[in-house]
Structure 1
Amino acid sequence: MKVTDYKSIAYTPAGKFEETRFEKIHNIIFENSKEASVLVAQEIAELIRTKESKNKPCVLGLATGSSPIRVYEELIRMHREEGLSFANVITFNLDEYYPMDKNNIQSYFYFMHEHLFNHIDILPENINIPDGNVSSEDLYQSCIDYEMKIKAYGGLDFQLLGIGRTGHIGFNEPGSHLNSGTRSITLDHITRVDAAPTFLGIDNVPRKAITMGIGTVLAAKRIVLLGWGSNKAEILKETIEGEITSEVPATYLQNHDNTTFIIDEGASSELTRVKTPWLVTSCAWDDALKMKAVLWLAELLNKSILKLTDKNYNDYGMSGLLTEEGTSYNLNIKMFNKLQNTITGWPGGKPNADDSKRPERATIPKKRVIIFSPHPDDDVISMGGTFDRLVQQGHEVHIAYQTSGNIAVSDEEALKFAEVTQTLCPDCKETQNIIKFLKIKTENDVDSEEVRSLKGFIRRSESLAATRYLGLEDKNVHFLNLPFYETGTIKKKNITEEDINIMCNLIDEIKPHQIYAAGDLADPHGTHKVCLDAIFESLSVLKHQKYMNDCWVWLYKGAWHEWESYQIDMAVPMSPDQVLRKRHAIFFHQSQKDGVMFQGSDSREFWVRAEDRNRLTAKKYNDLGLADYAAIEAFKRYHF
């Protein structure tokens, strides 16, 4: 259910607003996290003002992580532009790493001041965050004191939550007790893996933390949990539809009578009413939903499309679909042909061919193509085979690396290059400065401009080596170095007009017939999503230009995920030889190989992930009754 009137249903008990027997927690699905965050901030602001009018304090429980960032941005905006005062607000943060100095840039103390407290008029004495500096001897008493201080204020009026992939809220990891209070806890390995990018490697992530307990959270008068991105979809389904269990601590929220989950489309994708709505209620069967249902049923029953029967459809809630189509035979043939027509070995269109049933046009034999790559390796990791095909088939291909990717180069890698440079130029002061800085750098230090430049040059050189290998001339490789990324830290700036102008200038110069872009929306605050937003905003600016009438946009996925079969509009097969060429192109990005900094929860190297993913896509097509290919790269068309 997508909504615009948030207030009218924010307090509606679960199940009252949506016909579903599966869901046990009230949730609202929004098209995007930005819109949802604004409305959550408005609810908090209204509460603050109501309390202020009664001359009472407003006690807020606050969360950290990427999920609440836009909520905090909107609260800051309301403070600056609408006069929202936080003078009557008392805050208690959910958690803090332990041990952790509050001045450490990785601390939640630092996070909260950076993202909220430094920008509003809250009184410093009203800010409460667990003390990550407390001695081990005093830790137990410190937790009790924190708990008692919350109770002294009458408990939390409003608790803002995120959710971890383990189902943790705060740092209440699996096994946490329903009645638990503020305490120290050992972090789950998955939680530490997810935190690794912020700490520039899992080895730097603390193993312990201090957290409010489940009982503390459940005592709040109002709870709002934020869930953004497809990487939260599975745990949100388990939390909203599953049984209450200590193994998924967030399921305890099913017992709270004033909780709302605010989620975006990506995060809702595994909910039964979204993924398989025909199991919940009667459906309006458009072509997209028909394809989704047929492929879901085929994969569930491990059958090819053409082997599905009337009974199969009736047994799984699709009798209405059969009524529309007549017989399973008619429906199967229709969907089989539609899926078959997504396959093409000519991603730029096949010259002098009937393109009425092909994914791309043949009417423009030689296309101008821009492949946008968020980082300097996403192009070859995600669509190296298609890149290779486009070049070999004579199209004018341009690669545009949107960011320098310098943050992903380890200090050890940078030091190695600096020391090699020093042997060639012993008197180079810049190199000496880099080596000196890297050898004394601490965890709180932001890379100097010289170090960032070196790391950027490393990524640039690797990119040129890969694109040359695939036959592209250097003049067709563009390093945009979008300013939003160039902070030297994990935290990036918001997109500005400067970023959009850089994008628009390139698109306007090339006037492309095709644009390829990373459509990986797993993290709505991640670099891929920010880079995609920059493309969308640029297209919005340029859409009235005449040449844009001939421009088609194709979205590829990143290293972690692939489009679902029903979402694919173009499937580009690869031969075994092309799989090897793609692998070799990825190998040129040596700084991202063998212990890459942002490995995520998957221990496989990027080239292995890419090959396994492409091989799995090909297998899915084959299992559905289509030709048997070595590998397939998949794309979804974006209509702007």
Structure 2
Amino acid sequence: MTTTTTKIKYQPAGQFEDTRFEKIHNIVFSSSVEASICVAQEIAELIRAKQKENKHCILGLATGSSPIKVYEELVRMHKEESLSFSNVVTFNLDEYYPMDKSSVHSYYYFMHQHLFNHIDIQPKNINIPNGTVSIDELHQYCIDYDLKIKEYGGLDFQLLGIGRTGHIGFNEPGSHYNSGTRSITLDHLTRVDAAPSFLGIDNVPKKAITMGIGTVKKAKRIVLLAWGHNKASIVKETIEGEITSEVPATYLQEHENTTFILNDEAAQDLTRLNTPWLVGPCIWTEELTSKAIIWLCKLTKKSILKLTDKDYNNHGMSSLLVQEGSAYDINIKMFNKLQHTITGWPGGKPNADDSSRPERANPVKKRVLIFSPHPDDDVISMGGTFDRLVEQGHEVHVAYQTSGNIAVSDYEALKYAEVVKDVNSGSVNIDVIIEKLKSKEDDVEDALEVRKLKGLIRKRESLAATRFIGVPDENVHFLNLPFYETGTIKKNPLGKTDIDIVVSLIKSIQPHQIYAAGDLADPHGTHKVCLDAIFAALEILKPEKYMDDCWVWLYRGAWHEWDIHQIDMAVPMSPDQVLRKRKAIFFHQSQKDGVMFQGNDTREFWVRAEERNNETAQKYHQLGLADYAALEAFKRYYY
């Protein structure tokens, strides 16, 4: 059963096809920025249409990271295209409770920072749940909030995000399909996701005020945004699963004018994209073939070379047999492809035939530049490969793109400051730092002196780790990209100065290899900005002759791993090398225990890194390849 939906104007031609699996209209974009601009354009058209009719435009608005680019585009259209919000009335979905509107954590603060302070909306037309209303008045306040929406004739347009529990607004699992605006207790997972911006889960409120499912469903038009790998699983469950209160977003299947706007990563688990051979005829590209064979191995619990014609025919892959000839031919081809990704020589094996190896044999000694977004991503994500590159005689440079200072807790900084004071050393005023740390209040950004100390902690930990691996201090570069140095969780946009710093370093080293973090599931976004800086620098430097010999390898780290079919190079580690990697990670003592930004994974970084590397090795072994203790995985990037 498929709901009837309004086909929106910015639907890419042929990109959405109803299938027997999907119950909500959705559109997939390669870029969340492009998608956000299109959503903003739809909102703008609605505002202008209402203005022509001399009517109010009633918007339901969301917070969180997903709609930020939508708001940026609306602000741009106001400033550059004379889009007026004089007829707009807004109702926000939710607010933490209790929460003062002046707090940087409040949605009142968020909305004014990202939208309201920059447009001509009338303040009286802004409605955001009041996080300071008394408990005695809260029930009636929520009733009145719904009544006010009704008095305006209901919501013309409702913008939504989706949480990993499937919540919309703060309608957590168990919410009733007919619920109205009310107070609610937040799910633990929701609070875990919010913890980074609150500097720890203990600081996240346990309650909130939220529009109800019934309130949201009365909107004439609903658009839900979802970006990134972390949303893929819940997006699939919402679009393809049964309606259930355990996944409140599934109630949107009953709304006849809802569209989910997704980027590639958020849509990747949808059946038509993840396993299109189960939906209908497909074009068997090399990547899709690899993905399908690995999927089939997992489903049948067989290694590659044991797959039969019957296995392919019984699981929607008969057309692949027709194209390739037989299971035997397909299996051998795939086995060899995976076998050739494995190498103990990540810098290339000297004086060897490199025709079937992931890296070139020449030059024998390469200049290698490892970019690390934070001062520990290098050893967490590719510590074994890092160690191997140094051991095999390559000239290895490491560039720490940010200071990582916000990831140092106050108590860790205080400990170091007091140690410095005890030994009467240091060029900064330690007494000032200690006083600022002891008197620091919530919502206050770190003072410059404190940021310097925290950055220094991360710097010295990094040097201890690189010395352990064997990299000379002069080959370790601390870039301190300006976008990061705000003293708060919220960072500045990537700027020309950031890119110029990366360009200058690459120019000075002229590397044969660049390693960079392709881990875009980083919960606070720093990895993505750092990667964007590298990609921008590569575009600038591409005409340079020395760049013809520069290969770029992307690693993934603490948050996500490459799928097996995506891996172009897999570097095995012996048990001894696993221990060396663990020791290198341990030098980052301020991040070892109780790390502040661990996302939804409560394991320590070294544990999750080891288990992830072991899991990759196990997957290779289950496919019929050699049994290694651990594997680090890389994907080549072509610029």
Which interval holds the TM-score relative to the shorter structure?
Answer: over 0.9
Instruction: State the alpha-carbon separation in 1 of the partners of residues 524 and 580 from structure 2.
Output: 32
Instruction: State the alpha-carbon separation in 2 of the partners of residues 610 and 546 from structure 1.
Output: 37
Partner of 1:377: 376
From the superposition, tell whether residues 60 and 589 of structure 1 become closer, same or farther in structure 2 (CA, over 3 Å).
same
Instruction: State the alpha-carbon separation in 1 of the partners of residues 457 and 252 from structure 2.
Output: 48
From the superposition, tell whether residues 487 and 427 of structure 1 become closer, same or farther in structure 2 (CA, over 3 Å).
closer
1:494-514 Cα distance to aligned partner (Å, 9 max, x none): 001011101100111111111
**C-alpha displacement of 1:427:** 10
Partner of 1:638: 637
Q: Does 1:317 align with 2:281?
A: no
Q: How does 1:239-258 map to 2 (within 5 A)?
A: 239-258=238-257
1:243-264 Cα distance to aligned partner (Å, 9 max, x none): 0000000000011111110000
Partner of 1:100: 99
**C-alpha displacement of 1:524:** 8.4
Q: Secondary structure at the match of 2:266?
A: coil
Q: Does 1:326 align with 2:320?
A: no
Partner of 2:474: 475
From the superposition, tell whether residues 525 and 277 of structure 1 become closer, same or farther in structure 2 (CA, over 3 Å).
farther
**C-alpha displacement of 1:434:** 1.0
CA contact (8 A) 1:66 1:525 kept: no
**C-alpha displacement of 1:422:** 1.5
Partner of 2:299: 300
Partner of 2:609: 610
Q: Does 1:625 align with 2:624?
A: yes
CA contact (8 A) 2:420 2:426 kept: no
Q: Secondary structure at the match of 1:553?
A: strand
Q: Secondary structure at the match of 2:239?
A: helix
Decide which moves more: 51-60 or 202-211.
Answer: 51-60
Partner of 1:3: none
From the superposition, tell whether residues 534 and 155 of structure 1 become closer, same or farther in structure 2 (CA, over 3 Å).
same
**C-alpha displacement of 1:161:** 0.4
Q: Secondary structure at the match of 1:138?
A: helix
CA contact (8 A) 1:60 1:89 kept: yes
Structure 2: which amino acid aligns with 1:499?
Answer: D
Q: Does 1:416 align with 2:415?
A: yes
TM-score by length of 2: 0.97
**C-alpha displacement of 1:603:** 1.5
Instruction: State the alpha-carbon separation in 2 of the partners of residues 190 and 28 from structure 1.
Output: 27
Instruction: State the alpha-carbon separation in 2 of the partners of residues 626 and 449 from structure 1.
Output: 52
Q: Secondary structure at the match of 2:437?
A: helix
**C-alpha displacement of 1:106:** 0.6
CA contact (8 A) 2:408 2:454 kept: yes
Q: Secondary structure at the match of 1:267?
A: helix
**C-alpha displacement of 1:217:** 0.5
Q: Secondary structure at the match of 2:572?
A: strand
Structure 2: where are the runs of 5+ without partners?
A: 1-6
Runs of 4+ in 1 over 4 A off after TM superposition: 9-12, 426-429
Instruction: State the alpha-carbon separation in 1 of the partners of residues 392 and 401 from structure 2.
Output: 25
Partner of 2:9: 8
**C-alpha displacement of 1:599:** 2.0
**C-alpha displacement of 1:445:** 0.9
1:197-242 Cα distance to aligned partner (Å, 9 max, x none): 0000001000000000001100011110000000100000000000
CA contact (8 A) 2:15 2:27 kept: no
Partner of 1:168: 167
**C-alpha displacement of 1:553:** 0.7
Instruction: State the alpha-carbon separation in 1 of the partners of residues 425 and 569 from structure 2.
Output: 53
Q: Secondary structure at the match of 1:244?
A: coil
CA contact (8 A) 2:196 2:524 kept: no
Structure 1: which amino acid aligns with 2:509?
Answer: I
**C-alpha displacement of 1:461:** 0.5
**C-alpha displacement of 1:142:** 1.0
CA contact (8 A) 2:241 2:250 kept: yes
Q: Does 1:559 align with 2:535?
A: no
Structure 2: which amino acid aligns with 1:367?
Answer: K
Structure 1: which amino acid aligns with 2:197?
Answer: T
**C-alpha displacement of 1:424:** 2.2
Q: How does 1:119-518 map to 2 (within 5 A)?
A: 119-425=118-424, 430-518=429-517
Structure 2: which amino acid aligns with 1:370?
Answer: L
Instruction: State the alpha-carbon separation in 2 of the partners of residues 427 and 397 from structure 1.
Output: 31
Decide which moves more: 427-436 or 97-106.
Answer: 427-436
Instruction: State the alpha-carbon separation in 2 of the partners of residues 424 and 134 from structure 1.
Output: 51
1:340-399 Cα distance to aligned partner (Å, 9 max, x none): 000000000000000000000002111111111110000000000000000111111111
Q: Secondary structure at the match of 2:173?
A: coil
Structure 2: which amino acid aligns with 1:328?
Answer: A
TM-score by length of 1: 0.97
**C-alpha displacement of 1:558:** 1.8
Partner of 2:576: 577
1:404-452 Cα distance to aligned partner (Å, 9 max, x none): 1111000111111111111122897721111111111111211101111
Instruction: State the alpha-carbon separation in 2 of the partners of residues 16 and 340 from structure 1.
Output: 35
CA contact (8 A) 1:100 1:132 kept: yes
Q: Secondary structure at the match of 1:254?
A: helix
1:309-349 Cα distance to aligned partner (Å, 9 max, x none): 00100010000000011110110000000000000000000
Q: Secondary structure at the match of 1:633?
A: strand
Partner of 2:61: 62
CA contact (8 A) 2:522 2:559 kept: no
Seq. identity, %: 73
Q: Secondary structure at the match of 1:160?
A: strand
**C-alpha displacement of 1:560:** 2.1
**C-alpha displacement of 1:291:** 0.8
Instruction: State the alpha-carbon separation in 1 of the partners of residues 18 and 56 from structure 2.
Output: 38
Instruction: State the alpha-carbon separation in 2 of the partners of residues 359 and 128 from structure 1.
Output: 57
Q: Give the aligned length.
A: 633
From the superposition, tell whether residues 138 and 426 of structure 1 become closer, same or farther in structure 2 (CA, over 3 Å).
farther
**C-alpha displacement of 1:191:** 0.2
Q: Secondary structure at the match of 1:384?
A: helix
CA contact (8 A) 1:346 1:389 kept: yes
Instruction: State the alpha-carbon separation in 1 of the partners of residues 515 and 153 from structure 2.
Output: 54
Instruction: State the alpha-carbon separation in 1 of the partners of residues 474 and 598 from structure 2.
Output: 31
From the superposition, tell whether residues 427 and 409 of structure 1 become closer, same or farther in structure 2 (CA, over 3 Å).
closer
**C-alpha displacement of 1:68:** 0.5
From the superposition, tell whether residues 426 and 290 of structure 1 become closer, same or farther in structure 2 (CA, over 3 Å).
closer
CA contact (8 A) 1:178 1:252 kept: yes
**C-alpha displacement of 1:271:** 0.6
Instruction: State the alpha-carbon separation in 2 of the partners of residues 199 and 427 from structure 1.
Output: 31
CA contact (8 A) 1:167 1:174 kept: yes
From the superposition, tell whether residues 152 and 42 of structure 1 become closer, same or farther in structure 2 (CA, over 3 Å).
same
Structure 1: where are the runs of 5+ without partners?
A: 1-5
1:501-538 Cα distance to aligned partner (Å, 9 max, x none): 01100111111111111111225861111111111111
Q: Secondary structure at the match of 1:621?
A: helix
Partner of 2:4: none
From the superposition, tell whether residues 523 and 609 of structure 1 become closer, same or farther in structure 2 (CA, over 3 Å).
closer
Instruction: State the alpha-carbon separation in 2 of the partners of residues 520 and 23 from structure 1.
Output: 29
Instruction: State the alpha-carbon separation in 2 of the partners of residues 88 and 639 from structure 1.
Output: 48
CA contact (8 A) 1:229 1:524 kept: no
Q: Does 1:113 align with 2:112?
A: yes
Instruction: State the alpha-carbon separation in 1 of the partners of residues 586 and 524 from structure 2.
Output: 28
Structure 2: which amino acid aligns with 1:392?
Answer: E
Instruction: State the alpha-carbon separation in 2 of the partners of residues 572 and 425 from structure 1.
Output: 46
**C-alpha displacement of 1:9:** 5.8
Q: Secondary structure at the match of 1:571?
A: strand
Q: Secondary structure at the match of 2:543?
A: coil
Instruction: State the alpha-carbon separation in 1 of the partners of residues 75 and 104 from structure 2.
Output: 21
Partner of 1:39: 38
Q: Secondary structure at the match of 1:60?
A: strand
CA contact (8 A) 1:228 1:524 kept: no
Structure 2: which amino acid aligns with 1:381?
Answer: I
**C-alpha displacement of 1:11:** 12
